Each structure stands twice: as structure tokens, then as C-alpha cells.
Structure 1
Amino acid sequence: MALMEEIKAKARANIKTIVLPEGEEIRTIKAAEIIVKEGLANLIMLGDEEKIMSIAKENGVSLEGVKIINPKKSEKLEFYANQLYEIRKNKGMTPEKALETVKDEMYFGTMMVKMKDADGMVSGAIHSTGDLLRPAMQIIKTAPGVSIASSFFIMEVPNPNFGDNGLFIFADCAVNPNPTAEELASIAVASAMNAKNLCGMEPRVAMLSFSTKGSAKHELVDKVIEATRIAKEMAPDLMIDGELQLDAAIVPKVAELKAPGSQVAGKANVLIFPDLQSGNIGYKLVQRLANAEAIGPICQGFAAPVNDLSRGCSVEDIVNVVAITAVQAQ
């Protein structure tokens, strides 16, 4: 994927520090060697150093240049625990519970990002999405002015006539089951910004529905119409249109019939799905039936970048997501 080479070049141009909480996981260990050799990021791996080095040796992997920290033995353990207590004391956190909590690699890594000892975090090879998002939402929280954290996929389809020479952003396909109109608008604006800053695309955002410009009447359509209005108010300089059916959003001939005069219809490259069911189904359909490459889910909206992996991820997937996280941290 040509885009990944561009993203890697951006990562090399301004090196950031990324923490990998799953330091004892073999794919993560193999990816770490590649990341350092390619100069994509400075790496911190969490876990038992002796165990990590033993796995690396058994598999012929060099971790030269990688910093390894055991949270349970870290000199910053008490400091992070105190900070976590201050952040969460109004939610029932006690000093004792905070100390036990930060011994967990996921929470320790999140505290590293919060305290700016790392610029971003990547996890998910052996942890669930919830394991990543829970501490991120509790500790890092959303960026100023952002109402909701969400996710997107970078999708590249073989047919260059669609999207941006075959490139799309799909959102939200992994995090929010049923966003409100306000939340959907926030997801749309955040996705457009990532399309521009991460992928170098001029975003053309389609707010998807089963209706195009009033062709159907339903409260689900009303939500998308309202989300479109709010998104346009939030970012008046962006090209955003809705409500649009998928064919009206990406097929020029259909757009001419259903949404004439639209800046977006027929040439959308950022597709905003109305809920998680449609988004998750949509990206998997395109991935499987169109033989598209799907990178993600990539998180957005947090005050600092944290990203999730599929538990079926490959070594290459980990390398790619670390590079993306490094660029987001810039």
C-alpha cells in the first residue's frame, strides 16, 4: 500500500516514542525489531525483561535500541499511582487501589502517555478493545472541544475510480454503537481531519443513510440530517453533505440523479456510517467482497494517540499501526 510508505516516511521525519504494553507477546517482539530497524519510532515495551529477552533470543530477534520496563519494578510506579489517584479519586479510587491498578501494563502504559513519558500507545494483540479504551477514557480522555472518542479504518479498494484513487476513510466502525446526532457530527469532523493530516486527502465527507435528500422519512434519517447540519456548523470549510445513500455518495451517475449540485455526492472519500452495526458490516463487506485492504481500527478524539489492534493481527499490522500512531502524535 503506497499510503503506508508515505505514513512511514512522515513517522521517520519526526521520531516519537510509542509504548507497547504487550511486551511479552511474540508478534509484538518481532514487530519491535522491524520498527527500530526502519526508524519509525522510539519504543518502550512493558513486561518482564528477562522473559521478553528470552522470547526474543529463542526467535532470533534483536531488541537492541528498545527500552524495556517492568511496571511492577518501575521507579515511577508510586508516582503514576499518585497521579492516577488524583485523576480518579472522585470516582471512588483509593491510593491502595491506584497502586495495584498501575501495575497492570495497560494502565501503566496509559499513564506513561498521560504523563508525557511516551507520545502514544499501541495494544490489542492479546487484549480486547475494551481493555484499551477503558483506561484511555478514564485517564487520557478526549481532546479539548471533542465530545467523543471514535475510530476509523483506512480502506483501499482495487478500483481507483472510487474515493480518492481507491482510498477511503470509514467511520465509526469499531467503538460507538449508536452515536447521537451531535456525536455523529463530531465523528465526521474528526475523520475528515485524519483524512487530511494522516492520509493527505482533500476530505469529501458523506453522511450515510438509507435515504438521499429526503427520499425516505424516518427518525433514523432525521438523525443523519441533524448530524450533517451540526457538522457543517462545526467545520464550515469542510465539504460535508448528507443524508446520502451509499451509491449516491460514491457513484457519479447516481449522484447526478439523486443529489445534483452536491460537492460531495459521487466522489465522497470519507464515509460516515450512522451506527456501529452498519459501519462494522460495511467495512467487512468491502474488505472481503472487494478484496480491499483495511487498516485499523484507528482511534481518534483522544487527547493523545492510543490505538487498538485486532487479536488476529500480523507483525506487519503492528508495524503499520505504530507508524500511524507516531504520525498522529506529531
Structure 2
Amino acid sequence: MATDWLQIRAGKRAYQHIQEHGLDQDAIDLLVGASGGPKWFVLQGLDRFLFGEFFAERERPLDLLGTSAGAWRFASLGQRDPVAASDLFAKLYSTQTYSAKPDVQEITEEARKLLHTYIPDDAVHDILNQDKFRHHWIVVRCRGLTAVEGKKQLFGLLTSALANSMKRQWLGKFYERVIFHHPASPATFTELWHDLPTRHALLSEDNFKQALLATGSIPLVLEGVRDIPGAPAGIYRDGGVTDYHFDLDFSAIDGLVLYPHFHHEVIPGWFDKRNKKRRTTGAHWPNVIMLTPSAEFVAQLPYGKIPDRTDFADIDVEERIKYWQQAVEQGRWMADQLKEWIATGEIRNKVQLWR
């Protein structure tokens, strides 16, 4: 019996659609990408298939929602060759190196270099002047001590984590969710997001790179991004702080939501990792289709795990690069399987109802 490298789960409405119609790109209204740093490497094969084949003939706009690595992944879409752009991002990220003990300034500078190579100015122009792929990135605007750099920021983080442990809505005392969105998008599907203070800002050629850098600016790891043009003054950091894997209301979306994800669990915010009671499920998201690596897939990876940021410190440079690039290559197994299941209709038998 062939091994299933891919697991597909769907909320009630999405599951019923697949049973009746299979999986067709025109049914998808939103593509979602989560935070997670190098965990995304196992999804790059799926991205190549989705960007280069599945959505290639799409005529109507597709909304994209991303934080941190998810937003960076999706920045390939709207470029002239999204598959080549995705491949470049994977290569740049997987081969990234630092000094023996890099500080925040060094890591931030390396991130800027990667960003400018991955997305040159002409690519920004191309992305903003097409409306087939409409980007929406979540970035947090910090309040109080979460807005400072250095050791005082740690106190702000600990205080906000404590507040979150008692009530997720209390994160709003420390962070404001800012949705930077494509100028062609009215961002109407975000209008029901009232769980935290939320405002919107248009993406432009003046702020595109700063907003993208900000959504991946992990607290204490990278410097915050100050005073992004077109948005309120302040310090901006990683959108995953409030929306790590998301727990947002998608009921305003008419069609289905496709969510390639590297983990079987969906963790709402950065501080919820150890709070097992806070998990998003298909009961919350009836219109969501979740694509994740199977346990068998993960077992075949080097070290038997998906890459993560600790690999920078735990594995020597040459071995880490080899491991990360193998994860990228192996991720294509999932893409090949998804393509086959869609083409043959076998996806109806492979999808599980996500409760």
C-alpha cells in the first residue's frame, strides 16, 4: 500500500464540497499562510504546485492572508514567475548564515539583505499593479514596553504573555493588529475581526518592504520596524504574536479557504503554544481545507522532525543547510500526491472531516 505523505482535513462545508465536486481552484477564495520560520520548507513543494499550476489559470482575484513566514512565502505571488521567486526564497533562507553569536542588529541586517534580493523594487511594482493575487499581511503595532528594544522589551513580553494566559482579548492592551492589504482589495473578509484592536493600511511601493519585514520581525530576535509609511506611527513586529496560526472569523468569505500548514495543530497566537485548550478546529472553520504533512512524512525527515529556528544553534552550518534543503526536496512528495489525488478524484476518499 502506498504511503500517504499528505493529510487533508476539512470543515463541514468544505468536506461536503469536496465530496460533491472534488477540489477545484475556482472554489477557493482565500489562501492562508502561518508564521513558523523555517518550518515552511516542507510546504515549498506545495507552494510550487499551487503557484505554478493549481492557480495558474485563475481569472478572478484570490485573497492571500499571511503572517511572518506565511506572508514572505506568498510574496512570490504577483511576481512575473512565482515559482522561480519561491525557489529563490527557499534557497536564500535555507543557506542563510550568521556569525558564531549573532546579535539582533546582525540578524536584522541579514533579513533586510534577503528581502531586497528576493523582492527587488521592480517585483514590488509588479505585485501592486496586478489584482489576481491580493495580499493581506498581519503586523502588530506595539504598545508600552513591548515597543522598546533590549531587556525592557522582555518585561513587556512577559507581561503580555501573562495577560494572554488569563484572557486572549487582553493582548489588545499590548498589541494592535494592523492589516496591510493590497490596494485592489477592499479587505471586506476581515471586517468581522473584533477580538483585538484592528486597523487597516494600504500596501504601497513606499511601505511594501517595511511591512513585510515587520511581519517577520520576531520579538528579541529582530529589531522592530519603526513608523511604517501609510500606517500609524509606532514600532511594528511579527504578526504571529497575535495571529500565529490564526483563530479568525472566516464566515465573511463566500467560498472555501485553503490552508497548507506544517503542523497538525492550529495555535491561535504566539503565546498560546503551551495552552492546549486554545486550538482552532474545523468546528470554528467549516469552510477551511487544511493540508498538513502526515506523521509518516515527518518520520522520513532527517532528525525525524520539521525544521525550526533552534536548528541555527543546534546543528552545524553545513549539516543544517543540507537538512533544510532535503526538507524542501521531500516536501515535493506531498505536492505530487495532492496533484494526483485532485486529478483522479481520489481526494474524496483522502479528505477527513475536521471536527
TM-score computed with the length of structure 2 as normaliser: 0.26
TM-score computed with the length of structure 1 as normaliser: 0.28
Give the structure with higher Rg (CA): 1
